[in-house]
A and B are shown apart, each in its own frame.
Chain A
């Protein structure tokens, strides 16, 4: 029945509203900026790294396997920088994984609701402190402490050990917080079933809850590693300047990020080999973190236990 009115449009939906379309396009562009950022990162790092590797002084093989990084005599081997990045990351994770996981288990399985409400935000507060403050802490407190314990002639003023330890403290709350989230997400029924079979609290936590939350925990650990590899200010302040191929945590050694910061700290000229080299290191760093990111997403997708 149409009461005699002429029907102009078959339905309101088909009507084109220019304003709405413009807004739709603008919002899409806002979303697309993130793709541009990634393309920008890959393009910028790739282009200048390409310029770097094309230089007659440099070749890719020496870059990946060379054991000394001394730009003034044209030696560009990333190993010393990479090794100290690995060393500080390893020290940091040795602290952050066990302590973070233990704190997460305590908060999710043992702590009272009240204690949890206080402790968790406190730990998260630790994660919100700028990393330069941790750098200050490493240099003015942890390094003197290490020097008084192990002897000032053994521990250098700038050393990877102190940087790694403090980085561990920085990453601890991050690991703890994400692990706690995934432990708490394990349904109550699983725990009750285990208690019903006579398991103790510890057995429930370790043998039932922990395996069920494993995907979240591995993701947290990988995220922590990514964070440690990319961490800059702590190592820039406390780990020392100058590449040094050593696994001794009491000696100073520059990491990849520390090197980028030191080189670009002055007024860097755009045509210098130093300028190009930070892009090559940056590309290397970016690829490592990208691979870790992808692995972590795979793990979460593949091993996530879904409970109804």
Chain B
């Protein structure tokens, strides 16, 4: 009876349908927001893939077909013939420099062919297209090619994948078609090595101290608050810190001059080790916070049992707490490392070199890293460098994806429930 009367009250029933309708609209709005977030991710990936594949027009100073000897194509000739070709085409100064780096006779075929490509044939990218244009505007591309061919008779239209095996093998070059990221990959690895060596032991040590030893007093609370604050400091501030401390104040150490590694007059602190330590400071709070969580998750009963058997505090930590917390600690560390691999801003400030052609070989080498390489190539106005940057981005993203997958696998495999 009451219900019936309520239904008859038009106010209530009007309101109810209105309320339900607005609920429906808002639900759609909330869903739309989520979808927009995911679309943004897809747009980012599509944009990169679009730049990685596509048609290019390349021209070489010398047409490789004219270099065939007795009907043998250039690519199939012997190494001796290639070396002769290099000697014919290079100035004696350039040859001497190459011989000093590494004698031509000792070089691999791949290396020699790379030299021929860059020094003799000298490929040059004239025009590039994105994947979308290559697929749907083929006719325009062919027209463009024909008009370019009038000025450059040797020009070739190729479908190029900017990411390929050679990308990782080749070092930097002034020509986009022969440039690679080997120097950057090695630079990233060297830098990260020092980041790990510095940040992992310190981070885990600090986490053990805070979780197992620290009493609840002002000093330890200060340390804890401080770590949380440091995690929120912009990365570029760490770059400035690294510049002032590792590059400048500790220059004799970080340039290697103190160890007699390099000529003290040319050395400066803008080296692999400075970069690694700077990134180490940057990820230290992340590693500490993650390791603390992992250590906190080890149940108290394990510690009590160990103490009950007469173990000392450190014995308990070393034999029981750490082994149980290790998967969690490693997961957190891997995530922190993948953050460090992608960092760009602090390394620009610390002083990554703009163009280096030799691989880093000691902690005191000058360096460039993958994100720095992407930054430099993206900043160039010519489109071919953008394609190369996109290829490097794919390489970097796959690397990071592998690291993240490893972290997730590690967590799932070793996660223990108490």
A residues less than 8 Å from B30 (CB atoms): 102-103, 105-106, 109-110
Q: Is there contact, CB below 8 Å, between A31 and B34?
A: no
Tell me the bound Cα distance from A301 to B266 in angstroms.
53
Q: Assuming the A-B contacts A34-B284, A139-B378, A176-B37, are A293 and B229 also in contact, with contact meaning beta carbons closer than 8 angstroms in the complex?
A: yes
* A267 close to chain B: CB less than 8 A: yes
Main SS of chain B's interface residues?
helix
A119 B38 Cβ-Cβ under 8 A: yes
A137 to B393, CA, bound (A): 11
B52 CB, nearest partner CB in chain A, Å: 12
Interface-facing stretch out of B20-28, B56-64, B67-75, B160-168: B20-28
> Which residues from chain B contact A257 at a C-beta distance below 8 Å?
234, 236, 345
Assembled-state Cα–Cα distance A151/B41 (Å): 26
Inter-chain contacts of A233 with B (CB < 8 A)? 344-345, 371, 375
Once the chains bind, are A264 and B31 in contact (CB under 8 Å)?
Answer: no
A38, A141, A200, A286: the one contacting B47 at CB < 8 Å is A141
> Does A87 interact with chain B (Cβ within 8 Å)?
no
The distance from the CB of A307 to the nearest CB of chain B, in whole angstroms, is 21
A1 on the B face (CB < 8 A): no
Contact string against B for A residues 253-282, beta-carbon threshold 8 Å, 1 for contact and 0 otherwise = 000010011001101101000000011001
Is B358 interfacial (CB 8 A cutoff)?
A: no
The answer to whether A99 and B33 have CB atoms under 8 Å apart is: yes
Q: Which residue of B lies closest to A200 (CB)?
A: B23
Q: Which of B219-239 contact A (CB under 8 A)?
A: 220, 222-223, 225-230, 232-237, 239
Bound state CA distance, A28 and B227, in angstroms? Answer: 14
- A202 interface hit (Cβ, 8 Å): yes
Check A129 for interface membership: any CB of B closer than 8 A.
yes
Given contacts A131-B342, A261-B345, A285-B237, contact A34 B288 (CB under 8 A): yes
Is A194 part of the binding interface, using a Cβ–Cβ cutoff of 8 Å? no
Contacts of A41 in B (CB 8 A): 233, 237, 241
A267 to B350, CA, bound (A): 10
**Binary per-residue interface labels of chain A (122-164) against chain B in the complex, 1 for a CB within 8 Å, 0 otherwise:** 1101101111111111011100000000000000000000000
Task: For A7, list chain B residues within 8 Å (CB).
Answer: none
- Kindly list chain B residues whose C-beta atoms are within 8 Å of the C-beta of A232: 234-236, 344-345
Q: In whole angstroms, how far apart are the Cα atoms of A98 and B34 in the complex?
A: 11
Q: Which of B23, B33, B43, B209 contacts A202 (CB 8 A)?
A: B23
Bound Cα distance from A266 to B299, whole angstroms = 52
B 227-261 binary contact with A (CB < 8 Å = 1; else 0): 11110111111011101110010000000000000
Task: Please indicate the chain B residues that have their CB under 8 angstroms from the CB of A38 in the complex.
Answer: 226, 229-230
Mark contacts of A11-45 with chain B using CB atoms, 8 A cut-off: 1 yes-contact digit, 0 otherwise. Answer: 01000010110011011101111110110110011
Chain B residue with minimal CB distance to A169?
B40
Contacts of B319 in A (CB 8 A): none
Find A31's partner among B48, B223, B240, B281 (CB 8 Å cutoff). Answer: B223
Give chain A interface residues in 225-254, CB to chain B under 8 Å: 226, 229-233, 236-237
CB pair B240 A44 closer than 8 Å? yes
**Which residue from chain B places its CB closest to the CB of A165 in the assembled complex?**
B40
Contact A33 B313 (CB under 8 A): no
**What residues of chain A lie closer than 8 Å to B131, measured between beta carbons?**
none
Whether A126 contacts B41 by the Cβ 8 Å rule is yes
Residues 296-340 of chain B, each 1 if its beta carbon lies under 8 Å from chain A, else 0 = 000000000000001011100000000000000000000000110
A27 touches B209 (CB 8 A): yes
Contact of B205 with A130 in the complex, beta carbons under 8 Å: no
Query: A133 to B397, Cβ gap below 8 A?
Result: yes
Given contacts A126-B41, A140-B51, contact A31 B206 (CB under 8 A): yes
A136:B240 contact, CB within 8 angstroms: no
Known pairs A132-B374, A132-B375; A34 contacts B223 (CB<8 A)? yes
Q: Contacts of B243 on A, CB cut-off 8 Å?
A: 264
Taking the nearest CB of chain A, how far is it from the CB of B308, in angstroms?
Answer: 12
Task: Please report which residues of chain B, range 345-399, place their CB below 8 angstroms from some CB of chain A when the two chains form the complex.
Answer: 345, 348-349, 351, 354, 371, 374-375, 378-379, 386, 389-390, 393, 396-397
Query: Taking the complex as formed, is B86 at the interface, i.e. its CB lies under 8 A from any CB of chain A?
Result: no
A209 interface residue (CB < 8 Å to B): no
Q: Which of A12, A30, A111, A135 contacts B375 (CB 8 A)?
A: A135
Q: Contacts A20-B313, A102-B33 given: A32-B235 contact, CB under 8 Å? A: no
C-alpha gap A215/B48 in the complex (Å): 38
Q: Is there an interface contact between B23 and A293, defined as CB atoms closer than 8 Å?
A: no
In contact, A230 and B236 (Cβ under 8 angstroms)? yes
B38 touches A17 (CB 8 A): no
Residues of A contacting B220 in the complex (Cβ-Cβ under 8 angstroms): 31
Which B175-223 residues have C-beta < 8 A from chain A? 201-203, 205-206, 208-210, 213-214, 220, 222-223
With a cutoff of 8 Å between Cβ atoms, the chain B residues found around residue A203 in the complex are 19, 23
Interface presence of A223 (CB below 8 A): yes
A169 CB contacts on chain B under 8 angstroms: 37, 40, 44
Interface check A178, CB cutoff 8 A: no
Instruction: Name the one of B40, B214, B339, B389 contacting A136, with C-beta atoms under 8 angstroms.
Output: B389
Establish whether residues B345 and A122, one from each chain, have CB atoms under 8 Å apart when the complex forms: no
B156 close to A (CB within 8 Å): no
Q: Is A48 an interface residue (CB 8 A)?
A: yes
Asked if A289 is an interface residue, CB under 8 A from chain B, the answer is yes
A304 at the B interface (CB under 8 A): no
Chain A to chain B: the 9 pairs with minimum beta-carbon distance, closest first: A230-B234, A130-B342, A30-B205, A102-B33, A106-B30, A232-B345, A202-B23, A27-B209, A31-B206
Beyond the given A27-B213, A132-B342, A285-B236, could you list 18 further A-B residue pairs with CB under 8 A, ordered by the A residue number?
A17-B312, A37-B281, A102-B33, A107-B34, A119-B38, A133-B44, A136-B389, A140-B378, A141-B43, A176-B34, A202-B22, A232-B344, A233-B371, A261-B349, A264-B351, A278-B349, A285-B237, A297-B225
The residues of B with any CB-CB pair to A shorter than 8 Å are 19-20, 22-23, 26-27, 29-34, 36-38, 40-41, 43-44, 47-48, 51, 201-203, 205-206, 208-210, 213-214, 220, 222-223, 225-230, 232-237, 239-241, 243-245, 248, 281, 284-285, 288, 310, 312-314, 338-339, 341-345, 348-349, 351, 354, 371, 374-375, 378-379, 386, 389-390, 393, 396-397, 400, 404
A–B Cβ pairs within 8 angstroms, 16 of them: A30-B202, A34-B226, A102-B32, A106-B33, A110-B30, A128-B400, A133-B397, A136-B378, A136-B390, A136-B393, A173-B37, A202-B26, A260-B239, A265-B348, A278-B349, A282-B240
